[in-house]
Each structure stands twice: as structure tokens, then as C-alpha cells.
Structure 1
Amino acid sequence: MTEQSKRRPYTSALRQEQAEATRRKIADAARKLMIGKGYADTTMAEVAREAGVALQTLYTSSPGGKPALAKLVYDITLAGDARPLPQSGRPEVQAIIDEPDPVRKLAGYATMATGILRRIQPVHRVLRAAAAASPTDAGLQEVLTDIEHERLKGSHAPARHLHELGALRPGLTPAGAAAQIYVLTSTENFEKLTEVCGWTEAAYEEWLAWILATTLLHP
């Protein structure tokens, strides 16, 4: 192996690490401003200054403008980091897959979902409020539609997994199970139970694990 070929993987990894760090800085800055000021009152220039990057760098990371920036904020907040790694490839998901007991499997899923909802709820609320205030903002409306479609699509993986194990209750199809997972793990339900009803996150997590098992699993 030549010295040049040795350098290439290192250089590529370094560039990816730098790109991830930049995306994380941009997302953190945008999230802070959007939650503090609202989506409509947050400008791209302000985000660039807060993140310490050039405005052109911001537009390169979010080529679709502010709606694309909002989606970047949502995606990185959802994942918890800026790595280009899907949820299915993350260790916490693999631990749920490896768990042999369906009830404990769904308890682990409820723990993971509660952590995600804790992170994403403030961002989702800001975007919902902005979309409601600006129904003609096609870019923002599309972002929220894409978020919901991605959530529903993501709910199909655990549903199929339970189906393949023969764990779903009689008569429940994988598509039907996915729809119920999608609804039960919504941000709106999390908000209502923890904010309106005054539940702790631990109580919400316990309820989610119970309702998922009761609704989905073979008795």
C-alpha cells in the first residue's frame, strides 16, 4: 500500500468528522434560536453568526433554505448526533432486536422512544406553531408532512420484527401494528400526558411500554 493510499482513508474520515461537527454546530445554533425566538423570527444570517460559520456554509448544509434548516435541526435532534447513521443501525436499536422477550423488547422500545420525545418535543412544537401561523409556507408544511411520513415508515420496522417473531396478537397485521405504534409514540401524546396531565417521564415510559404490549402482543 502506498503512502498516498494510506492517507486517503484518514483524510476522508477527518473530512467526515469535520462535516459532522459543522452540521452539529449549525443545528445547535438554529435549535437555540428557533426555540427562543420562534421559527419565523429566526434568520439564516443569525444562525450563521450563532454557529460561527459563513453564511454560504449554512446554505451548503441546508440547500433548501430555512425549511431545510428546520429539517436538519429536527433530524439531528431526533438522532442525538450528526452522524449519517440511520436509527436502525444504532446500538440501542440492536439491543431491542437482540432481546428475546417481546414484552421486554417493547419496554426497551418505550425507553428509547421516551428519550427521543424528550429531545424532539420542543423542536416539533415550534415547527407546528410556525406551520399553523403560516399555512401558505409550502416548504415548512412539506417538512412537517415529511416528518410524519418518516415516523410512520419507521414504525413499520418494529411491527415487522414482531410479526416475524409470531408475537403480534391474532388478526393484527404488520401494517396495523405500525399504525398503532406511530400514533402511540406521537409527540402530541407525550405533550398531553407530561404537560397537561402532569405525568413524569418515568410514568409516561411505563405507560407506553404497557400500552404497546397490551395493544400489539399475542396474549
Structure 2
Amino acid sequence: MTEQKKRRPYSSALRQEHAQATRQKIATAARELMISKGYADTTMAEVAREAGVAVQTLYTSCPGGKPALAKLVYDITLAGDDRPVPQSDRPEVRAIIDEPDPVRKLARYAAMATAILRRIKPVHRVLRAAAAASPTDAGLQDVLAGIEHERLLGSRGPAEHLHALGALRPDLPPARAAAQIYVLTSTENFEKLTEVCEWSEAEYEEWLTATLTATLLDPPYRDKPH
């Protein structure tokens, strides 16, 4: 009995590790196919074949079918990996939280946002194009709506953090600050500035830092030397 109890956590950890590796393989295969062929022309069977898994395994990992697969691709691309680590515990986020200076804090945030936008841009563009071409695809429409809701919800973290520090403009409620962060860090803005306007990513990051600083921070924090 004692030996059985010792084995169970180990077996559970191995199963979890295997499931994570499988999800990563599926997400990688699906992302490559969707970017090269488009969402509509990518089939679940093709993804399963490219990932080296059974079709049933694919549906087990993505029980919502193709829209759920698209969300898996988006989530893993956004995070950069499939590790079960909360966003607040990731090193880049901890560095932002631990930075005492609000301007440098926003500079770190802008750098993190730029790296995320670089990764997510091709996936987001494919999903937007597919949703525009298939407005009756309720599953895909729900995925995109959910992504936007999650982005807005995620923007509350930095807004509330600045508010708690007393660094947010006194006339700017955290909810309104979150809305501005959400808009400024949109994939569409990143695309327009780096593609249409032909800015470098470094120029985008510098602009985002300056704009977030001017928009969000109380002047005493914004204007002091750094």
C-alpha cells in the first residue's frame, strides 16, 4: 500500500508531462499549418498527422474541435510555452512587479508586450481573417471574442498595480486605465506601426513606453529624472 501511494504522484506527474508535451506538439503543428494554409483549409486530420498523434488524441486535447484547437494555438503562442505557470509567476512579470520606478516598470511592460505581439501577430491575423470570411462560424467568433475579453481582463493587472502604488493619474480610474492599455497593446496597432508605417520593433517599443507613461502616470512620477 505504501509503495502504491509513492508511485501515484510519480505516475501522475509523468502523465501530466506527457499531456503537456502532446499539447505542445499539437499546437506547433496546428500553428504551422494555419499560418501556411489558413484556418479554413487546415483540417484536424492534417494536424494530427503533422503532430504524430491519433485524431482521437487531438479531439481529446481539444474537445471543442477546431475552434478549441485555434484557442490552444493562441494560448501557447501567447505564453511562449505550455508550462503550467501562472502569468504572475513568470520571470518577466515578476521583474515588472519588482521594479520600483513606475516609468521603468512601464518600459519593462512595453518590452514584454512587444515580444508577445511579435509571437502572436501571425496567429491573430490568421484567426481574424478566418472570422471575417466566415461570420457564421459561431465557434471561431466566440474564440476571438474570448481572446479580446481576456486581453481586457489582463490589462487590469498593470492598471490596478499602478493604482495601488499611487502612480496612476488621480483622475484616471483603474478600469479606464485598463481600457487604454488594452487598446494601445492591440495586435492591430502593432501591425500598422511595424508594417504599414515600417517602424522597427525597437521604435514600436519606445513609442509604447512613452505613450503608456504619458497616458497613465501621475505627473510627479512621469516627469522626475530616471
Q: How many residues align?
A: 219
SS in 1 for 2:42: coil
Q: Distance in 2 between matches of 1:122 and 1:182?
A: 19
Q: Distance in 2 between matches of 1:25 and 1:105?
A: 34
Q: Distance in 2 between matches of 1:48 and 1:85?
A: 26
Q: How does 1:115-154 map to 2 (within 5 A)?
A: 115-154=115-154
Confirm whether residue 67 of structure 1 aligns to residue 63 of structure 2.
no
Aligned residue number for residue 54 of structure 2: 54
Cα displacement (A) at 1:87: 1.6
Aligned residue number for residue 7 of structure 1: 7
Equivalent residue letter for 2:192: K
Aligned residue number for residue 27 of structure 1: 27
Equivalent residue letter for 1:212: L
Aligned residue number for residue 162 of structure 2: 162
Cα displacement (A) at 1:207: 0.9
Instruction: Give me the TM-score of the superposition, normalised by structure 1.
Output: 0.98
Structure 2 unpaired stretches of 5+: 220-226
Aligned residue number for residue 106 of structure 2: 106
Cα displacement (A) at 1:117: 0.3
Aligned residue number for residue 43 of structure 2: 43
Instruction: Give me the TM-score of the superposition, normalised by structure 2.
Output: 0.95
Aligned residue number for residue 210 of structure 1: 210
Cα displacement (A) at 1:8: 2.3
Give the stretch that moved more between structures: 83-92 or 190-199.
83-92
Structure 1 unpaired stretches of 5+: none
Aligned residue number for residue 82 of structure 1: 82
Identity of aligned residues (%): 83
Q: Distance in 2 between matches of 1:113 and 1:194?
A: 14
Q: Distance in 2 between matches of 1:68 and 1:178?
A: 27
Give me the CA root mean square deviation. 1.1
Confirm whether residue 197 of structure 1 aligns to residue 197 of structure 2.
yes
Q: Deviations over 1:9-51 (max 9, x none)?
A: 2222211111111000000000000000000000000000000
SS in 2 for 1:64: coil
